[in-house]
Amino acid sequence: MFSIGELSKRTKVKIPTIRYYEEMGLLAEAERTSGNQRRYDNDGLERLSFIRHARDLGFSIEAITSLIELQDHPDRSCEAATYIASSQLADVRAKIKRLKLLEKELTRISKGCDGRGVSEDCYVLAALADHELCDRDH
């Protein structure tokens, strides 16, 4: 059995977040000691590790809820899990594309500054003040 502090250390999930996951139903409600302290078993540790890893991969709480539902019913097809993961991958690819465009625009803006000093001629400040100076919408 693990205290909430030990669970936090092992999973690197902050204590308030563990409580939140428990309130949301992602993590089973912990057993309580006579002193009302939470105690988690190995299943709780494994579930929290699963949630942490899914969050690190950018899955939403809703997606994680669906994945846990599937995990709790191993007799079901994993087609839904594949769909959820594929959707997350598409979202990540869209974000990467957007970030690459932002990188390109920021590089262009940064190169426009001659570094002589802040004045009305500073291209970085001018570009930030006037979206029309950007190459494209972002």
Interval 91-120: pLDDT, tens: 999 999 999 999 988 888 888 776 666 666
Q: Is residue 13 part of a domain?
A: yes
Number of folded domains that form the chain: 1
Question: For the chain, what percent of residues have pLDDT higher than 70?
Answer: 93
Highest mean pLDDT among 21-25, 85-89, 106-110, 134-138: 85-89
Residue 115 in any domain: the answer is no
- Asked whether the predicted pLDDT for residue 38 surpasses 90, the reply is no
Q: What is the pLDDT at residue 14?
A: 96
First to last CA, the chain: 50
Angle between helices 61-71 and 79-111 (to 10 degrees): 150
Q: Residue 50: is its pLDDT beyond 80? A: yes
d(CA 100, CA 89): 16
What pLDDT score was predicted for residue 119?
A: 62
Q: How many CB atoms lie within 10 A of CB 85?
A: 16
* 120 part of a folded domain: no
In angstroms, how far is CA 121 from the centroid of its own chain? 39
Alpha helices in the chain (DSSP H): 4-11, 15-24, 42-56, 61-71, 79-111, 123-129
Domain containing residue 57: 2-76
What percent of the chain clears pLDDT 90, i.e. is strictly above it?
A: 57
Q: pLDDT tens for residues 58-92?
A: 999 999 999 999 988 888 888 999 999 999 999 99
Q: How far apart are CA 29 and CA 136, in angstroms?
A: 50
Any domain includes 99: no
Query: 15: domain CATH number?
Result: 1.10.1660.10
